[in-house]
Structure formats: structure tokens, C-alpha cells
Structure 1
């Protein structure tokens, strides 16, 4: 990145900050603008280590009333939002190296044959699963304004504008910033699962709808130029699924009715989007002659393409209008809606073949081709909805019905007895559930969900995920419930192995299932397995979880190869290292050899969706990163770890697990410290996602979801789950004389490289000085030694990492990332000190104060925005 470009980004941040300042001045007066500016200056000094400046900020915040604290918090949260927008637009406009071209350079230097390449290309499959985990703190109405703002910046920086046009854009930018300042940034209520689903649909409409065909054009061009291949017209290497409206694990608000409604809304949005495409094609395809096949289809029509497309357009309109009426409770006939993918694709392909046959290839391969590719990637249901439910909920169904039938209690049976019972019922020709049985509400909800799935098209559904799966019966139980509901096709079922123990046992569980003839017939050569990153790291720490995930994948690949079954590994990653987050390219290439043959399926969640896919240019680059890494991983697979690497990483993982659990599980002071040193309890009041922050409302830290667990530690800048115990284990390895082996692993093993490079980023985000400020004000004196102990380990861990990576400071190998964090650092410092003041006031207050609570939410949201991949 050149100095000129650096200056452009910094100038943009400053200019938008000045506009916000003028907006604040217009509302609150010159004194407030001066106060905000002084806070910003002192924040920058405090971040640079000036203790006097930090003390001045603390004194100021203690002197301000609650409403004034809210105003300061809102100002700095908005500064951070604007900085993010400027950087996002800047990144999307950079003409950095094209990942597909970089891949071609690597492949040209390697040796592989055409057959290998063709096979890898045929296996190129990315399934991006949009989820609504509560990390997206920004309201949809503000997301829209920020998107508009980014678009204005794009035109301002890259269009040839005269003075009037530049002034018009500048005025629009000022208007949008002013609108945002005068808009409530905190939701008054939690979003519903339907709200979350609609947000996901909007990401498709506003970004992915254009990004997908653009990416496929670039991929096709690259294949033709570099390898003499063409992308087949029906190729859909990228598809989308969703958990929004289907993920009911611990979320009582996702009901069968909600799932049914979300499925209809997705279908409706797809019909509207394709209606718009077809209407445009109908305008453009005005040719009066077509192929014999086309003319035979439309009869004696003067404009055959328009006639055929007009029929399709009308059917699409009938579909979305019919769904509107259905949702409003009006009588409609769904048989008149588009029911099958062929009803969309057949007319489009008839037009395409006709244009090609009549010498109009240039027309065929323009907008029509884009629409055909959208039809293959999105389809008439827009995306596929996954369903996720906790394994206990399925077992409860069978427990209730077996007790009703006088067969005993399913929950009390051995695993062998459960499997025998399930096998008998799966192969039985009579129904299990009695006609007059009245199940409990919880059981009825599970059965109603299965009923909705049975009434839904196979094309609209993804896979059924079982949370906390640990035994073969967990999978067979769901198969039985779906069969009883009347599903007449083998819906893919994926166990989700989340804890360290479950990951270690995953190959044995899948092996027992694949040894069952009936089960192998059910899966028909295709097995899904979801790898849990969040809960495994929360359970055992980042290093032990990472190695367990790697080993589980490695063994599952070998096992499914042995059974001649295609394996698709589904990665439940989050945005942070504590939740499995890694840069996309590095994450894929750090996986075991052979793990990509069945495609790459991964969750994209919370705010990371917006940062990676929120603008078409960003989305297209993300697709290229994924595609190039998958092809590279298949054609130039990473090395399998050497035996002495395995021995060392296994030993370190065990030490890391014991270090982590020794603090989090075993130290009686940990939980009391965690409660007071972070805003964990206050986080539960922030109306983020629709899902409660705990699986069990009355549970303690152990029941806290992995996301708020990460979120809380990010707020006080300890980011503890991402590093605790890891480098301590590395130090033991060095003390035992293994430094040379560690350096070899760092140089030659992508799995180990990515772990350390992510720790490098984590340590750049951690700030022990800020964490110490939380302790000084909020932690009782008898517990402050505990925080000091953690900060000492953090300092030693950072120092050891720099030594191993031969760096003098963090993120030396990622200067752009380092600059990104520095841009926000000065704005984050005041928000942390402000949050500390508010936490102290809230905890001392005898009753909730709405202004304090709102100000607290603003600081939580602002820090999350500044930290970026917080959850």
C-alpha cells in the first residue's frame, strides 16, 4: 500500500469525523464540540501511554451527568462507525493482487496433470451459511445509511467529477452522517428471528445478487485464459444457506411457525428478485426470430423471447403476490406459484440455446447468462434453510412416547439399547406415534418442526444439525423423527461435535454409523459432519481445541474414504480466534490434506457478514479468496504433520488444555473475577440477536454461550479466551529442548503457522493497560491480584510469540491490518474509560436508570464496532 493511498484513507476518516463534529455542534453548541475534541486528543495521548491524559479523561467522566456520558459515548461510537465505513470502502476499491491470478502463478510453478485440475474444478463447492449470531450490533436502518455512505465515498474517490458533482456528493455525505447522528443506534427491542432472516435476505439483494455472477464471470475468464477451460453454464460453485429462522438450539423464539414463515419469505424474495431480472430481460430480448424449439414453444409470436419471458414474469408475480396474501391470511392457491426450479430455468435455457443457435452468442452471454447463473446459485427458494436443534430435545420426544407406550424411559436406556430400538422403528412399516397421544409443549414443538420440513420442498432445505451430538443414537433419533413426520427423502443430518471429548470421539461415532447397512443406504454416499469451534475453544482453550478439530477432520477423512463415502466438513467458525476465526485463505489451507474433496461449508455470522460480503466488490473478493484457497488446497495440499510434530503439538495441546481449565474451571476466584472485571451481566441486557445469551436462563458461566463469552473479554481488551494457556504450553516445550522443532513447524506447517499468526493479531488487539483500568475501578482489592496474574501471562505470551516469529512488534507481517487497528485505537480509548465509569455507576445504583443503561449499551456496541471481529 503506498503512502498516497494511506493518506487518502486517513484524510477520509478525518473529513467524516469533522462532519460529525459539525453535526454535534449544530445540535449541542460550540462547547460540546470542544469537549468532544478534547476527549479525542486525550484519548490519543492516553493510548500512547500518557497517564496524565488518561487521568484527565477519568476525572472528566466522573464529573459529567449520565446524559452527558451518553452523548460522549454516542459521539465516539459514531466516529468508529465512520472509520470502519471509510476503511471498508477503501479496501473494496483496492486493485490488489487477484487471488485467482496468484493461484495461477503458483500452479504454473507446480506439477499437476489436467485430470487432477479437472477433478479439483468439478469438486469446487462453497456453501456459505449465513447466521444471525448476536455479534451484529448495528441496526438495519443504520446499516442502510452506512451502505449509502460507502457508495458516496466510492463515487467521490473514483469518478471523474466536476465541482458541482463533487459538492453534491459532499452534501449527501453530510446529510447521511447527520441522519445517523439523529437516529437511535440501539434497538429498543431484540430483533425477532424473522427480522434476522430479512436482514440476511437484504444482504443477498443488495450485494450477493450482483457479486455472484460477477465472480463467476471472472472465474470463467481466468479458467479460459490460464487453463483453456470454460465454466459450465450450470455450474454453481458458490451457494448459500441460512440458519436464520431455522436455528432453534436454545432459542425459544424459533418455532415451527417461524420456520414456515421464513421459508415463505425467502421464496417470496427470490420471486421478486427474479421478476426484476426477467422484466429487464424482456425489455432487452426484443429480437423477432428465434430457434425452431423456441418458436414451437411460443407459437406464431412476433417477439418470441418477450412472449416466453412474459409468461415466466407473470408466474413470478403470481408467486410473490400469492405469498403476500397467504401471510396476510387470505385464501390463495399455492399450486399457481412456481413450485420447481425447472419452471425458472427451462424458459431461460430455451432463450439461451435459441440465441446461441441463431448466432447471437454475445447477447446470450450477457445479462441472460447472469440470470441463469443466479438461478443455479440461489434458485426459487433464494437459499437453503438449515435446521438446528439440541440433541436433548430429540431424546425427550422418544422418552415421552416410550413412557406413554409402556416401553420404559428411552433416556434411561443404554446406548446399545437405544440403537436397537431406533433400528427396529426405522425399519418398521407401522408408525411409532399413537394417534391419540397428547405430547407436552416442548415435544409438540419438535414434532411440529418435523411436520413443516415434511411439507417443504427438498430444494428449500439444507441440512439438519444436531447440537451437542455425542453418540450414534443422536443421529438415528433425528432420522426416526423425520421419517415419522412423513419426509420421503433422505434429508442430510449432520452431528455437531462441539466439546473436546465429542471431537475426540467423532470418528468412532461416525464409524459406527457407517458400519450400519441401513444408515449407509440412507446417506447414499454423502456424509455431513459439523465441527464446532466456539464451544470446543470455550471448553478446552484455543490450542487444544484447534488440534482436536484438526485430528477429528483428519480421521474422518480417512474413515469416509475407507467406506467410499463423500465427506463434507461443515465449519462452525466465528469471527475471532476464540471461535475458530482465521483469515479465509489461511483457514482453508491449514486444514488436513483431503478435507476439501466434499466441498467447503462454513458459517458466516454476525458482523463478519457485513465486513466480508456487505458490498459487491468485497463479496466478489471474498469469493475469490475462498475459491483460490480451495483449489490450491486440493491441487497443492498442505503437508501432513511429521510424527515428531504430532508428538509435540499433542503434548502442547494437553498442557494448553490444563493451563486453560486450571484457570477457568478450577480456580475458585475466576468466576467472581470474570463477573466484575467484564460487562458480562450487562451484555445480557443488550438487544443484539434474537437468541438468549445463555442456554439455561438460570445457569452460570458454564451455560454462557461462546459468543457472549468472547464478547465480554473483548470489551475489557483482555481477549482472554483466544490466548489463555497457549504460549505457556509453548514455553514448556521450549524448556524441554524443542525450540528447533517449533521453528520447523512454524516454517513448514500451515496449521501451526496460522495459529501463531492469529495470536499475533489477538495480541495486537489486547491491551493490558486498559484491562488494568477496569480492575482498578471495578474489581475488589482482594481479587485484583488475579487480574495482575492474567496480565503477566499475557505480557509473557506476547513476548514469547514475538521471539518465535522473529518480530520486534505485533503484526509486522500485516502492516495494513496494523494500520486498520491504529485508526480506531484513539477512538476506542475514551469509550473504554467511559464504560468503566458507567459500570461503576450502574453497579452502585439501587435501581436501573434508563439513561445509564442506554449509555452502557452504546459503549458496548461502540467497542464491538471498534474491535471488529469480536464474536
Structure 2
């Protein structure tokens, strides 16, 4: 990706003026803070490094290499204290630039909304398209079956400390205030002073976590997204669509839009390889979730109740509302008298205010007043709504009260469906112990305790609160049967609703999936659950381990084939299938734009339902800001709706058949290239030397260990997150592109490949993701990392495949530079890369010391600290971790 001086100037002036002004302001403030903290010498050091890394991108190769050598001399000449300060400075710069870009995105969406410009990939647009093609009734029928299920996970890919994220949020709020045209010079000056204060706080806040977060810390962190965003954004999503569908009747008639989002969570339930997630933690995680949602519902109910001051004379209550009031007076005379005194002649208000008290009682587990389930609360809300509608107070019936109904339908009293995950081999060991008799190990006792906790959660919050049990590395039907047998042992016949979800992860497992599923239908507990759920069945596909197993291209094709085969199998058995996509944030783990990915799924595999994991930095990137969250939810939901239409399915079917031979050619070549690298003798040890994979284990970003038990000498047991994260840090991004160049060259026909990119959504999306991954790769810096391994053969394999992939991707795209057809993204990467380079050179300095020198423990510790500081900065600069 060329970032010459001329190209950078051109890219800079392509940046929208408001964003350019924000970045300039924040950069100036950071410069002031650096000068105040470390004097002019610190600022000069930062500026000199910046100038040299930009010069190292010159088109003149000799000039570029000379500048790169000067960079290495400069960073080596600094004391470790100076190197740390400079690393922190660039990291802070990226945090500030990221928040400016995020705020500009919010600004652009607000302006688009103000101008009334239609969003082409909105839900309303999808409904218009569906109505035009299939008729309004068919479109509404599709909407009635729509399901979007984001599942929050605690996978450790958010490198920022929570304190850093909080400081960034405060700065973002102050930056947004400057857009108010009513602000005078004095107010703007005060705002600037406050901004400077907060940037100083960001600078002085430690970038590295001192202690590792526990599972409950991860639960509480995720709750901030619910509290700050999701609780109020989701009814807004429903409302916006309903307003557009209803037209002039908006807000005065029963809604046409169902509550189609259901939040899931693995946080506190995913124990696969995490010894810290115990049954007790799972129970506490659900208690925390319930506390947050019940408080939110209570506040909303009280707020709406206080505002609903409709008098009985103007808005007479229905007989059902009068019965509710009579029951309340009889059962709770003191509370009802107090509410009636404060709300005389306002029956609807009285019922809602008492409902708020009952929600408080539910939260505090006061059985005499609390609701036994959300079903009863929803029934009361609908009674009030019907009464208001019958009294011709339609705006009161279908306004804010409808928002509360949608919120209750979406979140229940449990907020998110807590899912349990465990590895199949743990179940096998536990069953072997139980069948052998005798004393049970603590591991087996823990396995059994989980089922008892699931039953307790269901007893309090209902089956939907916790009923899915995901089995990692499902390879045989017995892996599923084991879960039901263990539940019987644990509960001794007591009832439990249990949906055991197979997770197919490696390529071999994906290819055997239908065989396993066919046999699973013979299991009595599975047949019983199908009868109870209306033949609903869920299957999970793992993107991370399949890509680590066979490379990005072969994994993409294997996942597509598995989806198509599973969808056909489900259709043959009249099952309502939900495919659960275990996608990561990084491109090497199935990441990328989710809405584009939905439209590229295999025919029949969506059918109005899309479920995926949302993890790490992706959670806050997609759901941290209300406007961005609404946009993301709408985009994915719209894509889910469209992906279910015959036209999209027929297009995908035709393309898959037309390009099947091309796919086989690419698959064979990509697999051979990828395995030729990762199966070379000594590759695992080389990988550990040329990337910071060992150091990542010291980065306190998640409660779960980076490995399932073995050392880096075994890649099979290394988790996909550190595998991707480590290659990203080394500026190689190998997991997103390796083998693709060999695949495209094996086809060798540019015209055929361009035809496939134009007609085959799966191939087009894959190429887009590969191009992005290549754009964030830097072969010059990557070589410096790879050379640390003293394996020229492996270094040349990687760099030659990178050159080959870049060449072929550009040929297929018909451009002379990466991301040329994606201007916004291209200019952002182009402007960022030299600044990321600065951190890479600092990391390389630390690496060389750690890998090649005999150091004291104190010196080693200081160098490891520099590595971890740069890890945070590079992650912020590339906006990718694992």
C-alpha cells in the first residue's frame, strides 16, 4: 500500500474536513500534554520517529531503506524509558484518532438522518424490496419470522483497559459538544481546556492491565453495553421500521414489527478451556444480568407510569384494568393506597406504578410481590395497552408503552440467553468416571454442578434464560448423547430443558457434520426436544479453528459446503434450522462486515434467522455507541431478511454450481500452500520466535488461558485468538490471506476470476476481506520480524506468497493499489500505516533484545513491558486484535 508523501497528501485531503479538523485538534492537544510531561525533547523524539517512518514509505527503494535503517538506529539509541514514552504517545494518538473517526461516523449518520436520505441497506429498504418483488403480505410474513441473535462472548480480543476506554468515551463526549453551533467563544475555550485535561488523564492512565480480569469482571464489562446502548436502541430499531411501514398510522395502531432481536451471552457460561468459569460463576453471571435488566425495566415502567396521567373521565379503564386494580387493592392494600393517593382517578397510571414496584420485588427476590415470570408482566402491559386503545387513547397505547413491551419481549427478566459451552473430551472423561463408579474427580463434580445450576436458573427465569449447551469439537453422535446422560446423572430425573448444540470446527468435522446430525436425530432426548420446540434445531460452525486448520480460502469453502449440506439435511427432516456462526473480529477468524457475510451464505442456510458471536473489541465497536449500534443491527437484520428471499438464494445456487470447478482448483492449491507452510518441521517453534505469541499470554486481556494445555510446539492446542493476534502484531496478517495467491494463480484466468467476483457473493466477500488483510500487512516490516527466526526458507515462503497474493488480488480487482475501490477505507489505512510502523520498530527493538541477548531479569521485564505497550498500540492502530 503506497504511502508516499504525495499519496499521503492526496489521502489526507480526501478525509472529510470535519474529521480532519477533529484529528488535528486532538493531535495538538496530545502534543501539548507530551511537552508538559516530558519537555520538548519528548515531543521532538515523537516527531522525528513520525517523519522517518513516513520517509520509509518512499517510492524510491534506496531512500525508503535508508529511512528504515535510520528508524532502527533512532529507536535503539533511546533509553527504555524514552522508548516506553514514545510507544505510549503513538498509542494515545491512535486512541484519539479512533474516537475521532467513530464520532465522525456518528456525525455522518446523524446528518443522513436529518436530511432524510434513505439508507440503502436499512430494514425499511429491505422491506420495500421484498414487498416490490413478492408482495406486501409475503414481506410481512418474512418479517414475522425474522430473528437476529448476537451472542456476546468474553474471548480476549479487547486490548484496551476499561479505564482507557472510559477516558476515551469522556473525550468523545467533549468532542461532540463542539459541533453545537450555539456555542460561543468562551464556551469553546472552556471545552478545549476540559479536553486538554481529559487527554492528559488518558496519557497518564496505565495502558497495561496489572491484574487479569475474572469472569465476573467480563460480565460487568459487557453489562455496560446493555446499560448504555442496547436497552434503548432495540425498541428504537423496531419503532423506526414500524413508523415507515405504518405511514400516517404510525404510533396509533398495533405494531407490525415484532421484537426480532434476542441477545445471547457466553460470558460466565463458556468454560471450554477456562478453569475459572465454574458453576458458581455461571449462577452469579445470570444474577448480574437479571439485576441489570430488572432495574432497567423498573425504571422504564416507573417513568412511563408517572407520565401516563390520563384521567378516568377522559380515558375510562377497561373491565380487565379494573379487575387488576381490585386484585392489587385486595392483595397489597398499603402499596395500592399509597399509589392511589398519588395518582387519584388515574387507573392506568396506578397499574403501571404498581408494576414497577413488583419489578423491584422480582429483583430483590420478594416472592410475595415479585412476578413469577415475564409472561405475567407482559400480560399486564397488554391489558393496559388494550384498555387505552379501547378508550381511543391510541397514542398512549402504542407509544412509549409499546417500547416497554418490546423491551420485555426482547430481554425478558434474564437480559441475555446464557449459553454453556464445554469441550467434548471433558464430557467423555466425566462419563468414564461415572460409569466406572467410585470417587469422582473435582473436574467431574464441576461438570455435574453445571447442570444443577442450569436447572436452578430455569426455575427462576424460565427455560429461555439458559437452555443451550454447546459442545466444542463435536465429532461423533456420542458427544451429544454424553451431555444428556450427564444431565440425568446430575439431576436424577428432575426436569430440565436442554438444547445440545453441536459445534463443528475443523475441516474434517465440517465434512462429517451431516453424518453426525443424522445419527443425532435417533437420540431420544433430541426427538423429545424437537417435539417440544416445534422442530427447531441449532448447529454451530466454528470459523476460527477451521481457518487455522486449512487456511482462509479452504476454510471459507468448507464452511459454505457444510452450510449447504446442513440446510438440505434440515429441509429433508422438516426442521426449523438456525445456523450459529462462531465468527471472530479478525479477518482470519471469519470477521469482516457482518451484513455482507450474511448475503454470501449458502442457499437455505439463513431462512430469516442469523446468529453469530460478537466478541472483544467488536462488541464495543458495534454496540458501544447508540447510533452505530442501531445502524449495525439494521444492516445485519436487513441482510438476514434479503438472504432469505428466493432471488438471493437462486443467485447463490447458480453461482456455486457455475464456479464449482474453479472452487475445487482454488481449494486444492490453497490447501497445499497453507499446509506446506504450517506443517514444515520446526514451524511452531519458528512462529513462537517471530511473533509475540508468548508475550500475549502476559497481556491481561481475558480470564481464559491462551492455550488449551500444551506448549507452542503444538499448534493444534493453540487457540485461534492468539494465533491470529500474533500474526497481526508482526504485521504479517498471514491468517487472512495465506494460500489465496496460490489459489488464484492455479486458476490463472483473470477473466474467469473477475466473472466469479462479479457473480459469486461468497468469492466477492472473501476477496474483499483478503484485500483488507493485505492492506494492513507490511512486507518490509514483516521481514524484520520473520528474520528473527533464522529460517530463511520459511521467511521466503511467507513473503513470496504475500507478493503472489497481492499481485493476483490487484489483477482481479483491476486496480494498481490495494483498496483503490474502497476510498474511505483505503485512505484511512494509507494514513495510519506509517504511525503503526513506529510502534512496530519499537516492538522489534524489544524483541531483538529478548530473543538474542542474555539479560538480567530486570532488563527482560522492562523489554517485555515495552512489547506489551506496543501490542496495545498496534492493536489500536490496525483496529484488529484476534
CA 1:567 to 1:5, structure 2 compared with 1: closer, same or farther past 3 Å?
Answer: same
Whether 1:675 and 2:688 are equivalent positions in the alignment is yes
- Residue in structure 2 matched with residue 792 of structure 1 by the alignment: 800
8 Å CA contact 2:608, 2:641 repeated in 1: no
8 Å CA contact 1:93, 1:617 repeated in 2: no
CA deviation digits over 1:261-308, x for unaligned, max 9? 101111111122122212312321222324123233224842323322
1:294-693 equivalences in 2 (<5 Å): 294-299=321-326, 301=340, 302=344, 303-321=346-364, 337-404=370-437, 438-457=439-458, 458-486=463-491, 488-515=495-522, 519-524=526-531, 525-597=535-607, 599-635=609-645, 636-638=647-649, 639=651, 640=653, 641-665=655-679, 667-693=680-706
8 Å CA contact 1:81, 1:865 repeated in 2: yes
1:33 deviates by 1.8
1:438 deviates by 3.2
1:361 deviates by 2.1
1:643 deviates by 3.2
- Residue in structure 2 matched with residue 246 of structure 1 by the alignment: 269
Deviates more, 1:103-112 or 1:851-860: 103-112
1:757 deviates by 1.3
CA distance in 1, matches of 2:103, 2:367: 43
- Residue in structure 2 matched with residue 420 of structure 1 by the alignment: none
8 Å CA contact 2:656, 2:760 repeated in 1: no
CA 1:102 to 1:239, structure 2 compared with 1: closer, same or farther past 3 Å?
Answer: closer
CA 1:337 to 1:137, structure 2 compared with 1: closer, same or farther past 3 Å?
Answer: farther
Whether 1:276 and 2:299 are equivalent positions in the alignment is yes
The 3-state SS of whatever aligns with 1:694 is coil
- Determine which of 165, 168, 193 is the counterpart of 1:146: 168
CA deviation digits over 1:448-500, x for unaligned, max 9? 11110111121311511000001111111112222333362432111000000
CA deviation digits over 1:578-630, x for unaligned, max 9? 10113112100100111112611100111011111110000000011011111
The 3-state SS of whatever aligns with 1:75 is helix
Name the TM-score, length of structure 2 as normaliser: 0.89
1:559 deviates by 0.7
- Residue in structure 1 matched with residue 18 of structure 2 by the alignment: 8
- Residue in structure 2 matched with residue 414 of structure 1 by the alignment: none
- Determine which of 830, 834, 847 is the counterpart of 1:826: 834
CA 1:42 to 1:100, structure 2 compared with 1: closer, same or farther past 3 Å?
Answer: same
The 3-state SS of whatever aligns with 2:644 is helix
CA 1:219 to 1:595, structure 2 compared with 1: closer, same or farther past 3 Å?
Answer: same
CA 1:335 to 1:5, structure 2 compared with 1: closer, same or farther past 3 Å?
Answer: farther
1:518 deviates by 5.6
CA distance in 2, matches of 1:838, 1:569: 44
- Residue in structure 2 matched with residue 695 of structure 1 by the alignment: 708
Whether 1:53 and 2:63 are equivalent positions in the alignment is no
Name the TM-score, length of structure 1 as normaliser: 0.90
* Corresponding pairs, count: 822
8 Å CA contact 1:543, 1:653 repeated in 2: yes
CA deviation digits over 1:4-46, x for unaligned, max 9? 8612212211211111111121122222122222222223222
Deviates more, 1:362-371 or 1:800-809: 362-371
The 3-state SS of whatever aligns with 1:592 is coil
1:851 deviates by 3.1
8 Å CA contact 2:269, 2:277 repeated in 1: yes
1:795 deviates by 0.9
- Residue in structure 1 matched with residue 824 of structure 2 by the alignment: 816
Q: What RMSD, in angstroms, separates the aligned Cα atoms of the two structures?
A: 2.4
Give unmatched runs, 5+ long, in structure 1: 323-332, 405-436
1:52-131 equivalences in 2 (<5 Å): 52-95=66-109, 98=119, 99-100=121-122, 103-104=125-126, 107=129, 111-131=133-153
The 3-state SS of whatever aligns with 1:594 is coil
1:730-741 equivalences in 2 (<5 Å): 730-734=744-748, 739-741=750-752
- Determine which of 282, 285, 289 is the counterpart of 1:266: 289
CA deviation digits over 1:119-149, x for unaligned, max 9? 3212210000001111101111221222222
8 Å CA contact 1:266, 1:382 repeated in 2: yes
CA 1:221 to 1:361, structure 2 compared with 1: closer, same or farther past 3 Å?
Answer: same
CA 1:307 to 1:472, structure 2 compared with 1: closer, same or farther past 3 Å?
Answer: same
CA distance in 1, matches of 2:471, 2:608: 20
CA 1:159 to 1:281, structure 2 compared with 1: closer, same or farther past 3 Å?
Answer: farther
8 Å CA contact 2:42, 2:82 repeated in 1: no
CA distance in 2, matches of 1:100, 1:502: 36
- Residue in structure 2 matched with residue 136 of structure 1 by the alignment: 158
